Amino acid sequence: MKPVSILLVDDDVELCSSLIRLLGMDGLNVTAAHDADSGIRRALHESYDLVILDIMLPGGDGRKVLRRIRLNSQVPVIMLTARGDEADRIAGLEGGADDYLPKPFNTRELVARIRAVLRRNGGSELPERLTIADLEIDRKQRRVLQGGQEIALTGAEFDILLLLVRSAGKVLSREEIAEAALGRPLGVFDRSVDNHISSLRKKLGARVGDVERIQNVRGTGYAYTGRAVLEH
């Protein structure tokens, strides 16, 4: 059988080395990343069966990494919390984590939780293609087609569009969009989300039929009109 591939994102190098060795004895192939940015990069560009994610990381926290992962993947995630803090646990589970484990923990319990999460999760990847109204979005190739014609989008525009389409019909705040799609919090006078939305409207057309494509909900955020059809 193919060994289970796990991404471990934790800044404790000694702990990572120990878990790589101990989990390896259970047939688990572990790769370590030690900060938020490298964790996001590996999670988005490499293939893993499960992610173990510490909530306290240099360059951000585990919740930031989790939000970025959930934009593109449903790979199972187990969160590690330093204190077993209830607020951290709730925030992680609400953000899309599948389980959590407070530090310090017994390695056997971690292995048991990994096995349990993997049993509960069949396919972890999001569909490769999404169709909504006049758009076809290829998540793997990061391409958007409109009426069969490719629309050139920047990386940030594509990520924002994907986030909005996946949440079609739901209002997302500017802060949620910035954190999930841009990977950073929104500054006080930061208009980057609004600028990207404006650019998307220009490139894709402001309306779909007789309704706004991307609706601005005053004082709240943005919502994409319609319902996405997901295709594997």
pLDDT in tens, 112-124: 889 888 888 764 4
105 close to 81: Cβ distance less than 8 angstroms = no
Which pLDDT value is given to residue 108?
A: 85
Q: Are residues 136 and 108 in the same domain?
A: no
What are the phi and psi torsion angles at 33 (to 5°)?
A: -130, 145
Q: Are residues 73 and 137 in the same domain?
A: no
Q: Are residues 98 and 201 in the same domain?
A: no
Which pLDDT value is given to residue 2?
A: 62
Q: Are residues 105 and 8 in the same domain?
A: yes
User: What are the tokens at 82?
Assistant: 């330093």
Which pLDDT value is given to residue 54?
A: 92
Q: Are residues 73 and 148 in the same domain?
A: no
Q: Are residues 116 and 142 in the same domain?
A: no
Give the type of residue at 72: N
Q: Are residues 150 and 214 in the same domain?
A: yes
Q: Are residues 27 and 102 in the same domain?
A: yes
CATH number at residue 71: 3.40.50.2300
Number of folded domains that form the chain: 2
Q: Which domain holds residue 209?
A: 129-231
CATH number at residue 213: 1.10.10.10
Q: Are residues 136 and 222 in the same domain?
A: yes
Residue ranges for the chain with pLDDT beneath 70: 1-2, 83-94, 122-127, 183, 230-232
What's the rounded Cα separation, in Å, for the pair 224 and 169?
A: 6
- The pTM of the full predicted model, rounded to 2 decimals, is 0.61
Which pLDDT value is given to residue 57?
A: 86
Q: Are residues 156 and 107 in the same domain?
A: no
- Strands of 58-205, DSSP E: 60-61, 77-81, 99-102, 129-132, 135-138, 143-146, 149-150, 172-173
* Among candidate residues 100, 120, 140, the one where a domain is terminated: 120
Q: Are residues 140 and 196 in the same domain?
A: yes
Instruction: Return left, alpha or beta for 98; rule: phi > 0 is left, psi -120 to 50 is alpha, else beta.
Output: alpha
What's the rounded Cα separation, in Å, for the pair 203 and 112?
A: 49
* Among candidate residues 64, 90, 120, the one where a domain is terminated: 120
